[in-house]
Amino acid sequence: MQFLARSALFVLALGLAVLICPTPPAAARGLPAPTVTEASAAAPATLLARARGGSPTSAELDRMSPVARVRALVRCYEVSGETYCLGQGFRDGPPDHDALSRTVARTRAEREGSGALSFGTWLARRTAMSDADRIAAEEAELSSALAGAAKARAVRLARTATPAGIKEANAIMPRRQVRQVRSYWCGPATMQSIDWADDHGRESQASWAADLGAGSGGTSITAMVATINAKTGWDRKAGPYIVQSVSGWGPVEFYRVHKRHLGDADPAPIVEHPKLLKRYFPYLDHDHSGHYQPGRGYYRKADGTRMIRFFEVFNEADWSSVGRQTWGPRAVSSYAMLAATKANSSFQNIGL
């Protein structure tokens, strides 16, 4: 895929150069956490230094209200002209932190999960880290964003038009469908399918769970993207994978980006990140929570409906006495897949 130039790797090298130079925490330096505007003109090294200085300490987090804690941990920066928010990915602008805070209690009450990390669990994990581990996690995430900034720009442009040479319909990864072997391993199953199509080796879901850090609470979208970049060759075709918000997108934009990523000379899969709800995935018996699926193609029906192809890795009958046989090749409309992704309201993002 000619999504972007490989020069993005040079940007990553610049960003990593500052990791060996510790900076005192924000409270010690008298600096607030950087806003998008403050970081907008920052060079890569300066950006990571600002992020380190804005990282809250455990003592500070303990004293914060729930909303303040969300604001402190989901900080946004401009990365080479593109807005990136920790835990959320590249976005058109900062998220609604108040709304994110409200989703924490709501996701705790969801009926059944299939393995995508909830925002509440992400927040709890990030809060529980030591100060050093938290800074390291934030630096790793921003370094990945620095490497993928050119990809984010290309995605933004792909939302507006489809260039010449893109196929009108395509499907990749033939016969690479798998079913998750634990109820919370949709992330490892999606990685197994994606990697199997890349190198034709079928590593176990247990090995992918170890790489992803996938506990019973699920797998994070940032871990999915980082593992694709580190463990597969898809980034050599599509450029570094990034976490991309779709919160402000419409179904036509969503479909155009799928065509661009899946329909050129070097097509590559997309990590779908929907909420698994029956109204969007009618093959289900009942609703579930956040989920991952390998996005693998697209086409238009005779009536013009834009369709997204994917593998369903969740077999409902394996985990519920009233569940249906649901795993395998599937397709839903671009409208349905986007709506399901937005229904995953504390994230609303994909990996590509």
Tens-digit pLDDT profile for residues 66-102: 999 999 999 999 998 899 999 999 999 999 999 998 8
- Asked if 202 and 277 count as a contact pair (C-beta separation under 8 A), the reply is no
According to DSSP, the residues that pair with 82 across neighbouring strands are 79
DSSP state at residue 328 = E
pLDDT at 291: 96
169 falls within a domain: yes
User: pLDDT tier at 12 (50, 70, 90 boundaries)?
Assistant: very low
110 and 257 in a single domain? The answer is no
Domain span holding position 109: 8-156
Give whole-number Cα distances, 74 to 98, 291, 315, in Å: 11, 21, 33
If one compares 1 and 283, the residue with the highest pLDDT of the two is: 283
Strands 293-300 and 349-351: unpaired
* pLDDT of amino acid 102: 87
Q: Could you tell me if 248 and 324 lie in one domain?
A: yes
If pLDDT is split at 50, 70 and 90, which confidence band does 36 have? Answer: low
One domain for residues 17 and 130? yes
**pLDDT number for residue 195:** 97
Residue 2's pLDDT is what? 57
In total, the chain counts a number of residues equal to 352
Q: Are both 302 and 342 inside the same structural domain?
A: yes
* Domain count along the chain: 2
Same domain, residue pair 25 and 144: yes
Judge if 188 and 142 occupy the same domain: no
In this predicted model, what pLDDT tens digit does every residue of 203-222 receive, in sequence order?
A: 999 999 999 999 888 899 99
Do 118 and 233 sit in the same domain of this protein? no
Q: Are residues 145 and 178 in the same domain?
A: no
